[in-house]
Amino acid sequence: MHYFSENESQTNENNYHYMLRIAIQSKGRLSEDALKLLAEADIKLEAGKRTLLVQASNFPLEVLYLRDDDIPQSVAKGFADIGIVGENEVCERNEDVEIVSRLGFSKCRLSLAIPKNANYTGLKWFDGRKIATSYPNILTGFLKKHGIHAKIHVITGSVEISPGIGLADGIFDIVSSGGTLVSNNLREVEVILKSEALLIGNRNMEEAKRRILEDMLFRFEAVRSAQDKKYVMMNAPKEKLHKIIEVLPGIKSPTVIPLADEQWCSIHTVLDEKRFWEIIGKLKDLGAQGILVMPIEKIIQ
């Protein structure tokens, strides 16, 4: 089946005959950033409408709101074509999905933690002990690999209180700042998995849907490449122009615009935020003035 009829352009939104379905967490730590990503890619969803399935008004995408636990399976089975979910859930559910892209937000880790005053002697400490977790599959695999025989107590929430109430000796749970551990008198002793939000996809996605996905990824990439960049404009004495250009690592070469005062010109370029202060310092030393710095929304390469 053809996605576009002959002579139709892929960029014409009205010509999409297929709809890509994305599963997103309905509420929780992933949902806000996932929706932000769609918004930044100019994919518009009806605000406030939180029915299970919502169609975008200007892109062939529909959003299926689910609990994050259900996202890997929905994508594997094809109820959704793609999904945004934590790597921790993807590993735990062990569903056969494609990892389309790593999204860089919702960073956290899965760690083993024990009461803060316990005398930790290495992984052997867990031998014969009881560990509470919502991630039994990942934990079982890890313990097996290291030859540790521990009992696993599966609990779906408030894992961190288990040692305090005598339900377990240690826990295996999500850690980000570590604040929850500290307030429960626990200490992180082993990091087992580092996690971030992933865009996952069904392995048997139809070609037409894959092309919509590529359009969406192209938009994400434009947003991402702009994220740590600034648009910088400055006035500079013309005689210093060559030296200034040497200092600037712009996208290609900087734009130079003449000014009414013939001794001066205006230079526009894009700077990486990481090297920003170092470069601005050099520019000032070379006589640049009136430096304006602006955020960039998107960069299309």
Q: Identify which of residues 110 and 212 has a Cβ nearer to ligand ATP in the complex.
A: 110
Q: Identify which of residues 66 and 234 has a Cβ nearer to ligand ATP in the complex.
A: 66
Residue 25 found at the interface with ligand ATP (CB under 6 A): yes
What is residue 63's three-state secondary structure?
Answer: strand
By CB under 6 A, the count of residues binding ligand ATP is 16
Contact status, residue 92 vs residue 139, Cβ threshold 8 Å: no
Q: Identify which of residues 68 and 169 has a Cβ nearer to Mg ion in the complex.
A: 68
CB of 75 to Mg ion, least distance (A): 15
CA–CA dist 178, 174 (Å, integer): 9
Sorted by sequence, the CB contacts under 8 Å of residue 47 that are 6+ apart come out as none
Candidates 24, 43, 45, 68: give the one binding ligand ATP (CB under 6 A): 68
Residue showing tokens 């526009």: 268
Applying the rule CB under 6 A, the residues between 195 and 224 that interact with ligand ATP are: 195
Q: Across the beta sheet with 289-295, what order do the strands follow?
A: 255-258, 264-272, 229-237, 289-295
CB of 172 to ligand ATP, least distance (A): 14
Q: Identify which of residues 23 and 283 has a Cβ nearer to ligand ATP in the complex.
A: 23
The Cβ-side half-sphere exposure at 126, using a 13 Å CA radius, reads 25
Residue of closest CB approach to ligand ATP: 86
Sorted by sequence, the CB contacts under 8 Å of residue 206 that are 6+ apart come out as 1, 18
CB of 198 to Mg ion, least distance (A): 15
Residue 64 found at the interface with ligand ATP (CB under 6 A): no
Q: What are phi and psi of 36, to 5 degrees?
A: -65, -40
Residue 68 found at the interface with Mg ion (CB under 5 A): yes
What is residue 269's three-state secondary structure?
Answer: strand
Site string for ligand ATP, 74-113 (x = CB under 6 A): ------------x-xx----------------xxx-----
Dig out the tokens for 83 from the structure. 């999904």
Residue 29 found at the interface with ligand ATP (CB under 6 A): yes
Q: What are phi and psi of 88, to 5 degrees?
A: -60, -45
Residue showing tokens 């894009």: 270
Which of these segments, 60-68, 73-81, 118-126, 193-201, binds Mg ion (CB under 5 A)?
60-68
Contact set with Mg ion (CB under 5 A): 68-69
Contact set with ligand ATP (CB under 6 A): 25, 28-30, 67-69, 86, 88-89, 106-108, 174, 176, 195
